[in-house]
């Protein structure tokens, strides 16, 4: 049972939104590096998020990264080539794309087509307690920071949940129907831990979604 739990929980964390490396960029013709840096700082301030300046790397003029515990997770670079500045944002999930849309509108571009309302943390909790797959679908549907593809992770999480139920229920039925028996306790603990483990990154994504939605701007995606 413990092996099955580890497999299912590992699947949840691999499929949950927490992977860095997805990035987006925007060209700012006619802007100097200092001007582009001020635009980036202004956008970060609108998101009400801390950002710590980093050592200059990869040829960038300026770099600022949010702390690991931040709800909005961004690694922002400003660089230049002749006649224009470039702002790039790497992120967890697709937050970098949403940030670049904010930068675009800070510089007079847009508006874009998509607008999003806030999501409920209580609904996220309830859906995740039913199944992490349902919680995943709720937070990633109709969101500007959704994963590029949500169907395959949804199926993977659903499969993991069903596999965990099957493994733990075997222990339960082997030990009989005593509600205080080790089998039932094992099932509740393993499946509850799986749900609580999935809810943590889900709740962070919902809070990040709401931070972007509260800006009252429009998005490309």
Residues 58 and 126 in one domain: no
pLDDT higher at 175 or 46: 46
The domain total for the chain is 2
Domain-located, residue 46: yes
50, 79, 106 — which closes off a domain? Answer: 106
User: Any idea what the Cα angle at residue 176 is, between residues 173 and 178, rounded to 5°?
Assistant: 125
Residues 54 and 163 in one domain: no
Which domain range does residue 168 map to? 2-17+118-213
* Tens digits of residue pLDDT in 169-187: 666 666 555 555 666 677 7
Residues 123 and 199 in one domain: yes
pLDDT at 18 over 70: no
Residues 9 and 27 in one domain: no
pLDDT higher at 185 or 62: 62
pLDDT at 22: 60
What CATH number has the domain bearing residue 35? 3.30.310.80
* Tens digits of residue pLDDT in 21-34: 468 999 999 999 99
What pTM was computed for the model?
0.82
* Tens digits of residue pLDDT in 87-100: 999 998 899 999 99
Report the mean per-residue pLDDT for the chain.
Answer: 84
106, 126, 153 — which closes off a domain? Answer: 106
Residues 77 and 127 in one domain: no
pLDDT at 218: 94
């Amino acid at each position: 049972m413990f092996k099955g739990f580890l497999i299912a929980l590992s699947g949840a964390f691999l499929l949950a939104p927490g992977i860095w490396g997805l990035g987006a960029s925007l060209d700012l013709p006619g802007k100097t590096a200092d001007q582009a840096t001020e635009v980036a700082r202004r956008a970060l301030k609108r998101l009400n998020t801390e950002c710590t300046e980093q050592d200059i790397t990869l040829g960038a003029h300026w770099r600022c990264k949010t702390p690991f515990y931040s709800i909005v997770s961004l690694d922002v670079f400003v660089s230049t080539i002749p006649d224009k500045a470039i702002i790039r944002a790497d992120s967890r999930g697709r937050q970098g794309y949403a940030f670049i849309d904010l930068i675009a509108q800070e510089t007079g571009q847009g508006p874009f087509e998509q607008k999003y309302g806030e999501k409920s943390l209580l609904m996220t909790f309830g859906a995740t307690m039913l199944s992490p797959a349902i919680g995943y679908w709720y937070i990633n549907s109709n969101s500007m920071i959704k994963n590029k593809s949500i169907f395959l992770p949804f199926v993977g999480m659903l499969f993991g949940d069903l596999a965990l139920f099957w493994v733990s229920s075997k222990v339960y039925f082997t030990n009989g129907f005593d509600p205080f028996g080790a089998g039932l306790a094992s099932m509740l603990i393993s499946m509850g831990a799986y749900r609580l483990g999935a809810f943590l990154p889900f709740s962070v994504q919902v809070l990040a979604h709401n931070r972007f939605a509260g800006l009252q701007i429009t998005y490309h995606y």
